[in-house]
């Protein structure tokens, strides 16, 4: 007789479920921890046959499984549908500091969490989704220049003044500047400007989502690629003459 009152969903991997450590150890020894088919077929005799299994472990297995099944049948399906329908989900993740606190700190985009993430991460995302959408709408309503400045400043720890000068140096804001001009604006050398451009490129590269997509910037998606390719623009020696 199966131990679970409800059928275990074949597309729900047990590893995504927040069992206690002892329960996980039991499932691993039974070969059911990462095998939904084996997990669905577990009987009371299977679980009780392991010496580390006690009433607390059995209670955790039953209660946590039932909660995970209920979640998967309702909110998880809704979350996955959002991910499939809304392209921004493939471009936004927790390393983009514009969305700090709204996205679980998982190594994946909102899409990855919604479709195949862990139970607790999905629950977190489900709770914060309205606030996340509101922030997306707020940012999408900004002008192209304001959105670009916010994105770069938030993800590189640069002041607004320095961000604007560096973007002008990269010909992404008007008026455009040469290295010496940007240096005079910030009170540093052209060589330092070149170093700062390299630093923002490095930090923004770290903030990019996993996969082929670039970070979410609907006003000008090409601007991100322009920054990531910035070191090829020119060397300081060419600017100082």
pLDDT in tens, 47-86: 777 656 678 888 899 999 998 888 888 888 899 999 999 9
- Does residue 198 carry a pLDDT above 70? yes
pLDDT digits 0-9 by tens, 97-118? 999 999 999 989 999 999 988 8
For helices 144-156 and 160-169, the axis angle rounded to 10 degrees is: 110
Query: How far is C-alpha 225 from the chain's CA centre?
Result: 19
Share of residues in the chain with pLDDT > 70 (%)? 93
On average, the pLDDT of the chain sits at 88
Q: Looking at residues 162-176, what average pLDDT do you find?
A: 94
Mean pLDDT of 85-89: 96
Q: CA–CA separation, 189 vs 179, rounded Å?
A: 8
Task: For residue 1, name the pLDDT band (cuts at 50, 70, 90).
Answer: low
| pTM for the full predicted model | 0.76
Give the domain ranges of the chain.
14-73, 76-140, 144-240
- State residue 146's pLDDT score: 97
Ranges of H-type helices in the chain: 21-29, 36-40, 44-48, 55-73, 75-85, 110-116, 119-140, 144-156, 160-169, 179-186, 190-206, 221-228, 236-240
**Residue 17 vs residues 107, 119, 122: alpha-carbon distances, Å:** 17, 5, 11
* Size of the chain in residues: 241
Q: Quote the pLDDT of residue 51.
A: 56
């Amino acid at each position: 007789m199966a131990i679970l009152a409800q059928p275990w969903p074949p597309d729900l991997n047990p590893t995504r479920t927040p069992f206690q450590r002892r329960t996980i150890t039991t499932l691993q020894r039974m070969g059911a921890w990462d095998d939904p088919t084996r997990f669905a077929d577990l009987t009371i005799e299977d679980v009780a046959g392991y010496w580390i299994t006690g009433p607390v472990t059995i209670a955790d297995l039953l209660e946590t499984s039932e909660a995970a099944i209920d979640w998967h049948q309702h909110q998880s399906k809704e979350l996955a549908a959002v991910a499939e329908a809304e392209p921004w989900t493939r471009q936004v993740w927790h390393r983009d500091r514009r969305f700090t606190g709204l996205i679980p700190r998982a190594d994946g985009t909102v899409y990855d969490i919604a479709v195949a993430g862990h139970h607790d991460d999905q629950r977190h995302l489900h709770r914060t989704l309205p606030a996340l959408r509101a922030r997306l709408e707020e940012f999408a309503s900004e002008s192209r220049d304001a959105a670009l400045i916010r994105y770069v400043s938030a993800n590189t720890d640069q002041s607004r003044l320095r961000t604007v000068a560096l973007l002008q140096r990269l010909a992404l804001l008007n008026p455009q500047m040469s290295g010496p001009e940007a240096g005079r604006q910030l009170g540093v050398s052209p060589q330092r400007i070149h170093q700062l451009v390299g630093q923002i490129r490095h930090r923004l590269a770290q903030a990019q989502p996993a996969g082929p997509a670039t970070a979410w910037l609907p006003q000008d998606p090409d601007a991100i690629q322009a920054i990531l390719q910035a070191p090829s623009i020119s060397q300081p020696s060419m600017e100082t003459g």
